[in-house]
Structure 1
Amino acid sequence: MSRLSLSRFTLERFRHRLASVDALPQLCVLGVVSGLITGGLMVLFRSLLILGASVFMPGDNPEAFEALAPVTRALLPLLAVALIGVWLWRLPPAGRQIGIAHVIERLTYHQGRFPVRNWFTQWWVGLVSVLGGLSAGREGPAIHLGAAACSGLGQRLRLPHNSLRVLVACGTAAGISASFNTPIAGVIFAMEVVMMEYTITGFMPVILASTVAAVVSQAVFGFERPFEETGIALGSLLNLPWIVISALGIGLLAGGFVRVARAGGHLKRIPFVARFALAGGLVGALAWWYPQVQGMGYDTLGLTIGGSLSLDVLLAVGIGKLLITAFAVACGIPVSIIGPVLVAGGAAGALCGLLGAQLMPELAAGPAVYAMLGMAAMMGAVLQAPLAALMALLELTHNPNLILPGMLAVVVAGLTSRQLCGCDGFFISVTRHGLHPLQQPLMQALNRVSVPAVMERALVRTRRRVTLEQAGALLEAKPEWIMIERSSDAKPTLALKAADLARWLLEHDENDKLIDKEGRLDLLEIPGQRLDLAPIHLQATLSEAFERLNTKHADALYVEHGHRPKQRRISGIITRDAIERYYRYSDVPPG
């Protein structure tokens, strides 16, 4: 029996396998590693929140704003925006981009590569915004920190860019999973909101990453069920019409939230300092009377579901928290919005439940049911992510009885926000023909594969002028293409079809007019197919290659291997036909 050789499991072979569309085992390995990395980062982030809270918060609780004096909790947001503003002041606009929108932008236009500067900014802004009493969650930092760290590992190992995209999805799902103990919601969120596609190759590594991250988090913090309410059910189906009406109202609130948050263009005329001070002052003013609007608000959501909050507090949380979060985003403060949206949706749902109890006291379900449904409906409408919202409802409440009414509420609220308010998903800022660039079918297919999977490796390199003997020697390796090196970098690199050279050698001899006095043949003068070439790196995806062919107006690309300019090797050639053959083959069903 032959023993397995360790030389078979080299990093180079691993990279080569990842370039293909069917590299599922290799991607699953990356999923496990991503879960460990992101789980560890989330443990560190939550530990830093607890450590920061131990300095000035009662009980070392980062959400105990209600126990602070009114003056203290009113001044905290002003201090927070000052600390965030000082950090962001010297950064260029690109360096201020953090959170989920930044992750989607880097995935859309940069193949999932993240700047380190923005990653450190996310740490600072994420911690200060939550501890400083702004209306902010921790899921934005969780997603950005996890996705960027996992992508950074892939960049460090020089993995092909199609695997970087999967690493971003793994970090996203693992961040959600480790933060909220919601592994299924993390997977659906990563595929529905960030990747915007569903594939088996994408799902399996993301599931592994989400599972491993949840295990890491539970090993440190235990298994938490903050919003579990056993025995709660819809009761009578006569509640369904009121659920539809309630979801319609929540959808309008969600549409208003998106529109206010996107009003940043109108606020740019206000100076940077004034905008930040205005946003912090608004939070502080509302927090003087209603501290429940500050921070993440998950304790407030628990009290909402438990029916412990008064009517005025529910109004402050359901409407006030929603507005101050949207206004902070519009003012340029990069706070995380999903946590506040969940909390505000729960309060808005509880208000609908209380009103329903007045209208039909004998039939209406309790406010707790409507609070849970409102939480999911608001999240689904703001993000335009119905499946992620439903999975969050299931995992946060551990109550399968709410799935049926939850489906109705999420769909109605999502349609209301989209159709009546004209709002796409909160994180989708650019669409073309109604689709985000990540949703374009061609780009989705080409992003799944890197150039090594389809490039033509059979090529030889030569100078422009060669003797007949040298020309014959070039063909001995049976190349597909002959790459002609030019005397100057300013001149375009060309490729000649090897079959055309072989045909010319069969039909001509040394007396041909193309042979100069020194007995050399000019390869640029031979009749045949020639391609203008532009360079591309080995890690690029087919979508990058397709875009580069268009922008450089080239016929084909030569694939460079290596990072040092004087030590780069040519690994192969990728033509436009090769890309089109891959897409047509992958798009045509068998048979």
Structure 2
Amino acid sequence: MKWRGSQNQSQGLLLLSVLAILSGLVSGLVMISLVSLVHFASSFIIPGHPENYEALSVIERLVIPSTACLLIGVFWCLLPSKVQKVGIPYVVERLNYHQGNLPLANALAQFIGAFIGLVGGLSIGKEGPAAHIGATFGSQLGQKFRLSHANVEVLLACGVTGAIAAAFQTPLAAVLFTFEVIFIRYSMTQVLPVLLSAVTATVLSQWILGRFEWFDVVAMDVPNFDLSLSIVCLVLVGLIVILSSLFFQIQKWLWRFAGLSIWLRFSCVALITAIVGSVFPQVLGGGYDTINLVFSGQVIATSLILIAFLKMFLTATSIGLGIPGGMIGPTFSIGGLMGLQVSVWFDTGLPIPIETALFVLLGMASMMAACFQAPLAALLAMLEMTHTSEVIFPAMFVIVLSCLITKLIFRQDSVFVERLNYLGLSSVLNPIERQLRSHTIEPVADPAISVSNVAKFEQIKDFASNMIDYVYVCKGGQWYEISVSELLTKMSLLEYGPQPWLKPLGGELGLCTDEMLISPIIEVEEMESLIKLLSIFKETSANKLLINLKKSDQLCVVTRQRLDEFFLKETSRNVVD
């Protein structure tokens, strides 16, 4: 059934809500499945918990990451080049340039590649891959139900949100992350379905994985924000800004080697990860275990700031050289380690006690905000992790300063945006493109009447009574336009006797149109939105296009003037609203 254009507003919202819940369920299940499979596979390799790389021998820490890179390299070489594109930047690219159409093959490649890398201890995250897969399912749902491009966008957002919400069990932060990082804009029409997806994925995650306890923050005692605490926060901000800038600059420098062979790039990742991981096993995997070790009372001999910098270096190198993993989880870990280091530095040097959990979370939030330019998402993540409003002011302080310094002084945008800019792609559509992408061709299309090469007289008379100006005829595979007024003029000549254009048609005479063809008209297939229609007008310099509606086996015609008038009308309406 074709829902687009046929449903009223309430029916459309109901359908979208149901599909949003499905997107949340699937993206949440993908996240949970990825975590569960990684834990299951890791149990055969790593003793204890999945990130207990400290328990492995030096040889094992050399072999395991190298083997993972080898397996990913073999798998990646078997894939066509177009299937090798994965990750959140690819999701944004498909959203802006391909009507939100995300192929299933890329999502499957993302899942397998991330699984191998995570089991092998590579410094990558699982949240980005899950977001890509969830977005793909939302996109496929929208296309299956033939929704408009605007609604496909909503379901794509639902998939991303569900994956992030299931990963951290922070539904509101996941919603804001999607709007700030993927869409880089807010739309009230998207909020309800996206919230539904976030809640669904969070409930599913809590039901299957249990409720996450972020470093026992329920009992956190937040000190008053005075001069001493502000100085500590400024030190944290300075370190986070340096880390986030290096995190981007290393990736940017490595992007230039994207043309090298997969074997060479992945071999470099294997070598660097094996060497660093053999000496500092704390940098392998997600990195949260190091923070948890400190909270459990165990002493880490290595400097936490060194581990944070090495973790940042390994993650930036792995992602920059094309390993199919995510960045969200590692940035949380890096920021948390830096916050933990700052709390250790100042724990005994101030008249007030330093709350370790607070600074871990401040580091996580500020690193996320600086790397992805998502201040509101980072702030909401803090609130949802701590369940207390007392953290708002210190969180706002470090998050706002980190974002401002990164953007204004270091001229650095979100890592995802910078990646798209490097590829020559835009992360944000201009208002005209955005407006055209949100509409299908129905509002600007008129029915097109086709006739055979020999038209019946009764049919021509009907054209006149129905006020039809032009009809269309196909000759030699090319469509031509014919003026109805000329057909009527030809018919009026019959009162003077037989005419040379009379031809037999099914036992009677008809009007042969061969000599009345005005001009050829370009025939195109039906498209999902007006943006594609505009691009065809620009490419062909045509003033009129014939659209083949294959689903209904009908023709319609669209003029450039009608398209321009519709856009101006919609723009004026939005300004008034």
Question: TM-score category by the smaller chain?
Answer: 0.7 to 0.9
Distance (Å, rounded) in 2 between the aligned partners of 1:523 and 1:199: 53
Secondary structure of 1:584's counterpart equals helix
Q: CA RMSD in A?
A: 3.3
Runs of 4+ in 1 over 6 A off after TM superposition: 18-22
Deviations 1:189-217 (A, max 9, x none): 22221122211221111111111122222
Deviations 1:369-405 (A, max 9, x none): 3321121111111112222222222223334322222
Post-superposition shift, 1:19? 10
Post-superposition shift, 1:20? 8.5
Candidates 328, 335, 340, aligned match of 1:345? 335
Q: What corresponds to 1:328 in structure 2?
A: 318
Give the letter for the 1:53 counterpart: S
Confirm or deny: 8 A CA contact 1:21 1:449 kept in the other structure.
no
Q: Between 398-407 and 364-373, report the one with greater CA deviation.
A: 364-373
Q: What corresponds to 1:7 in structure 2?
A: none
Q: What corresponds to 1:64 in structure 2?
A: 52
Q: What corresponds to 1:562 in structure 2?
A: 550
Give the letter for the 1:191 counterpart: F
Secondary structure of 2:4's counterpart equals helix
**Residues 291 and 30 (structure 1), Cα distance of their counterparts in 2 relative to 1, 3 Å cut:** same
Q: What corresponds to 1:517 in structure 2?
A: 500
* Structure-to-structure mapping, 1:177-326, within 5 angstroms: 177-229=165-217, 230-238=219-227, 239-268=229-258, 271-303=261-293, 310=300, 312-326=302-316
2:387 is aligned with 1:402: no
Post-superposition shift, 1:81? 0.5
Secondary structure of 2:43's counterpart equals helix
Q: Between 214-223 and 133-142, report the one with greater CA deviation.
A: 214-223
**Residues 419 and 217 (structure 1), Cα distance of their counterparts in 2 relative to 1, 3 Å cut:** same
Post-superposition shift, 1:83? 0.8
Candidates 114, 122, 129, aligned match of 1:134? 122
Distance (Å, rounded) in 1 between the aligned partners of 2:299 and 2:328: 21
Confirm or deny: 8 A CA contact 1:21 1:448 kept in the other structure.
no
Confirm or deny: 8 A CA contact 2:255 2:321 kept in the other structure.
no
Distance (Å, rounded) in 2 between the aligned partners of 1:22 and 1:573: 29
Distance (Å, rounded) in 2 between the aligned partners of 1:411 and 1:531: 59
Give the letter for the 1:349 counterpart: G
Q: Between 156-165 and 103-112, report the one with greater CA deviation.
A: 156-165
Deviations 1:458-486 (A, max 9, x none): 4322246646543222344555x644133
Confirm or deny: 8 A CA contact 1:27 1:163 kept in the other structure.
yes
**Residues 283 and 455 (structure 1), Cα distance of their counterparts in 2 relative to 1, 3 Å cut:** same
2:573 is aligned with 1:590: no
Q: What corresponds to 1:50 in structure 2?
A: 39
Confirm or deny: 8 A CA contact 2:87 2:110 kept in the other structure.
yes
**Residues 435 and 232 (structure 1), Cα distance of their counterparts in 2 relative to 1, 3 Å cut:** farther
Distance (Å, rounded) in 2 between the aligned partners of 1:403 and 1:89: 48
Give the letter for the 1:510 counterpart: L
TM (normalized to structure 2)? 0.87
Q: What corresponds to 2:508 in structure 1?
A: none
Structure 2 gap ranges (5+): 503-510
**Residues 468 and 237 (structure 1), Cα distance of their counterparts in 2 relative to 1, 3 Å cut:** farther
Candidates 152, 175, 183, aligned match of 1:164? 152
Deviations 1:226-267 (A, max 9, x none): 344132324233223542453233122211111111222443
Distance (Å, rounded) in 1 between the aligned partners of 2:9 and 2:571: 16
Confirm or deny: 8 A CA contact 2:180 2:373 kept in the other structure.
no
Post-superposition shift, 1:327? 0.9
Confirm or deny: 8 A CA contact 2:371 2:414 kept in the other structure.
yes
**Residues 478 and 522 (structure 1), Cα distance of their counterparts in 2 relative to 1, 3 Å cut:** same
**Residues 64 and 29 (structure 1), Cα distance of their counterparts in 2 relative to 1, 3 Å cut:** same
2:357 is aligned with 1:371: no
**Residues 25 and 324 (structure 1), Cα distance of their counterparts in 2 relative to 1, 3 Å cut:** same
Q: Between 501-510 and 228-237, report the one with greater CA deviation.
A: 501-510
TM (normalized to structure 1)? 0.85
2:402 is aligned with 1:419: no
Give the letter for the 1:543 counterpart: I
Q: Give the total of aligned pairs.
A: 562
Secondary structure of 1:535's counterpart equals strand
Give the letter for the 2:449 counterpart: V
* Structure-to-structure mapping, 1:446-465, within 5 angstroms: 446-452=436-442, 454-463=443-452
Q: What corresponds to 2:68 in structure 1?
A: 80
Secondary structure of 1:336's counterpart equals coil
Confirm or deny: 8 A CA contact 1:18 1:160 kept in the other structure.
no
Q: What corresponds to 1:384 in structure 2?
A: 373
Paired-residue identity, %: 28
Confirm or deny: 8 A CA contact 1:228 1:398 kept in the other structure.
no
Give the letter for the 2:165 counterpart: S
Secondary structure of 2:474's counterpart equals coil
Confirm or deny: 8 A CA contact 1:260 1:327 kept in the other structure.
yes
**Residues 587 and 419 (structure 1), Cα distance of their counterparts in 2 relative to 1, 3 Å cut:** same
Secondary structure of 1:192's counterpart equals helix
Distance (Å, rounded) in 1 between the aligned partners of 2:365 and 2:406: 14
Secondary structure of 1:58's counterpart equals coil
Distance (Å, rounded) in 2 between the aligned partners of 1:232 and 1:271: 52
Give the letter for the 1:441 counterpart: P
Q: What corresponds to 1:8 in structure 2?
A: none
Confirm or deny: 8 A CA contact 1:457 1:572 kept in the other structure.
yes
Secondary structure of 2:525's counterpart equals strand
**Residues 526 and 287 (structure 1), Cα distance of their counterparts in 2 relative to 1, 3 Å cut:** closer
